[in-house]
Amino acid sequence: MAIDDFPQAWREVIESAPDVSGSPVLGAPVRYDHDGTACEGYLAWKPAYISAEHPRPAVMLVHDWFGVGVNIQARAVMAARLGYVAFAPDVYGAGVRPRNAQDASAQAAGFYADLDLFRGRLQAGLDWLSAQPGVHGAKIAAAGYCFGGTGVLELARTGADLRGVAPIHGRLLPHDPSDADRIRAAVLILAGGDDPVCPDQDVLAVVNELRDAGVDWELDMYGGAPHAYTIAGAPSFRAEADRRTWLSLTDFLSRVL
């Protein structure tokens, strides 16, 4: 998927991201399997910058409740422009792409209700990514938006082999504090200051879990930013908060990878 194929609002956001070499980014759908369910993710990379002989760190970017689509594909291209192998795993399964908020809510609810399935589906994506010849398997981080933000923190709570995770305006689910003891990754929480999906009490509960477990954590909140403030073209989009969020994320990735 070329940059010109994205909607104008997303083209502007993509082109604002740094580009390490100026060489083209390629993006393509990829197929893999999780316990008999076919999944179709999206991979973005710079062929001139990445090879089996010179593997690069990778970033797994997890979609919002609408599934693998333009929102997460754009972020994958932005991460690839930074020189990472960028992969958007498919939580829902191939062909499952909600068309409206009602359908998206129903799809997401099934995974919120079955966190083992949610975690397993993401681990399958991580396993696929780490096995790719151009990927440095010991240098992978994950970031997720909305539904995907919930997912990356859940994956970290399994002890997954990740250098860092960054939930971005995700629904933060407080757990038994002992669950945080398994987290091996650094954690960067990025949230809107006016987000009812991520209320202050949930943020504080998760921060306390991370603190008590001795996790390397950081919290950035953006005043006035509502839920889904990074979705270009949406009424909720806040350009300045999105810009600052991407800068915080890229700084975090450069530190942990």
What's the mean pLDDT when you consider all of the chain?
A: 95
Q: Which residue type, as a one-letter code, is found at position 5?
A: D
**Scanning the structure block, which residue is given the tokens 């987000």?**
195
What pLDDT is attached to residue 178?
75
Short-list 221, 211, 223, 222, CA closest to 187: 211
Q: What's the pTM?
A: 0.95
Contact between residue 140 and residue 126 where contact means Cβ atoms under 8 Å apart: yes
Measured CA to CA, the distance from residue 201 to residue 88 in angstroms comes to: 30
Per-residue confidence (pLDDT) for residue 175, from 0 to 100: 80
Domain 3-256, CATH homologous superfamily name and number: Alpha/Beta hydrolase fold, catalytic domain (3.40.50.1820)
Looking up tokens 């096995």 gives 131
pLDDT (0 to 100) of residue 54: 85
Fill in the amino acid letter for 164. Answer: G
* Residue 77 pLDDT: 97
- The residue type at 206: V
SS3 category, 116: helix
pLDDT value for 185: 98
Question: Which residues of the chain fall short of a pLDDT of 50?
Answer: none
Which H or E run contains 137? strand 135-145
Specify the pLDDT at position 49.
Answer: 82
**What whole-number distance in Å separates Cα of residue 47 and Cα of residue 21?**
11
Two tokens, residue 236: 């909720």
Give the model's pLDDT for residue 131. Answer: 96
Sole residue written with tokens 């629904």: 171
Structure tokens at 31: 């197929």
Q: Over the stretch 18-63, which tens digit does the pLDDT of each residue have?
A: 898 888 999 999 999 999 999 999 999 999 888 888 899 999 999 9
Half-sphere exposure of 220 (CA within 13 A, CB side): 17
3-class DSSP state for residue 70?
helix
Whether the Cβ atoms of residue 121 and residue 96 lie closer than 8 Å to each other: no
The DSSP bridge partners found for residue 114 are none
Show me where the domains of the chain are located.
Answer: 3-256
User: Under a CB-based contact definition with an 8 Å cutoff, are residues 162 and 140 in contact?
Assistant: yes
Q: Could you tell me the two tokens for 61? A: 């970017």
